Structure 1
């Protein structure tokens, strides 16, 4: 029996930085516009999962696009501003902690990506999605790219927008409730965050009660 080749790239197959090759192939095949979509915030104990969808202008691609996790905060802020200034379309959507608890983080992440694509002001003909799954319910064709934020500039742009927007949401949460230091850890399970949880307990509607350690 023949085996289907995995889309997962090896370490040596990954480009140094993401490029525009997937998008240009789609353009040649008449599948344009192409949107990239990615999410931020699958792992934290608190806050929403946030997704972005971006349609880049092939003639005005910002320099330095990369997986948001490989950029420092100052670089993300610069790329974020450049993306908003040059992209054909940008959209952001989120799914709350309550909705994450009602489903699961995987489904919530895919739903956030679907919403981001659905609210783009330009309708794409193809969506490149980071990860192994194509978000259900897309209004067009979709393709999942494992490590897509390190392979596709459109997905990298979406990862930057999603990360910056989610961080800003969590910074605001830190202003509204100073006990947890959300502006420092963005809801991840740091020592500061866990210590605050031991002292004050979780915040309903903000902490993900389906996540450990809350289930315990």
Structure 2
């Protein structure tokens, strides 16, 4: 399906209006999963021409994502990933967990960004960074698209490495997201240490619902209601 390639338009705008010189694109993956961390990548790309085919990771085949990730690893000026664990998601709620993962990613960069382009409509990061939110930024902004691909490939790899420990959950195929095999394994074996046990999917597991944690905030419960259907925002 044809798509418009991402550009440096937002980066140029931030440079012109805020004086920012170092700008990081930030994107997350794993928000809608039942298991595994929520992962955030912060990528700094400068204003160089991007690799061919770069776009939102969800528009790419797994093979093409992996190929691009290899190229991006050496092409970006700098990048870093931050993660919030399932336990942190359960304890803090999704918005706070996203911020925690994003802060970890930004603070792991070798240089501190002057500004951040954040994919989506809501600023879950806040100060002290100057933040510009961009809806579908992973399709329109080069730095965010790069972060999208790097975050997705890294998290998928992490989840795939669990296959030897929890083979029945098919994490190598579903990366912790809802799927028939994942649901069947949950019904049979219950949640693992990698599952978010405050989420409402636990209510559909009669043998295991006693393990459900009370969601820490109403706002987090509302966010998770989309996650149980497998949405990846």
Aligned residues: 201
Cα RMSD (Å): 1.6
What corresponds to 1:201 in structure 2?
A: 190
Q: Write the distance in 2 (CA, Å) between the matches of 1:83 and 1:70.
A: 16
Contact 1:117 1:138 in 2 (8 A): no
Decide which of 58, 62, 87 is 1:69's aligned counterpart: 58
Matched residue SS, 2:28 = strand
Contact 2:95 2:124 in 1 (8 A): no
Q: Write the distance in 2 (CA, Å) between the matches of 1:67 and 1:51.
A: 14
Any stretches of 5+ residues in structure 2 without a counterpart? 205-233
Q: How does 1:1-216 map to 2 (within 5 A)?
A: 16-29=4-17, 30-136=19-125, 138-203=127-192, 205-215=193-203
Matched residue SS, 2:167 = coil
Contact 1:130 1:144 in 2 (8 A): yes
Structure having the larger proportion of residues in helix? 2
Report the CA distance between 1:176 and its aligned residue.
Answer: 2.2
Q: Write the distance in 2 (CA, Å) between the matches of 1:73 and 1:183.
A: 12
Contact 1:68 1:163 in 2 (8 A): yes
Q: Write the distance in 1 (CA, Å) between the matches of 2:51 and 2:128.
A: 27
Give CA-to-partner distance per residue, 1:178-210, whole Å, 9 cap, x none: 12111111111100100111111111x311001
Contact 2:102 2:125 in 1 (8 A): no
Which TM-score applies when normalising by structure 2? 0.81
Report the CA distance between 1:168 and its aligned residue.
Answer: 0.5
Any stretches of 5+ residues in structure 1 without a counterpart? 1-14
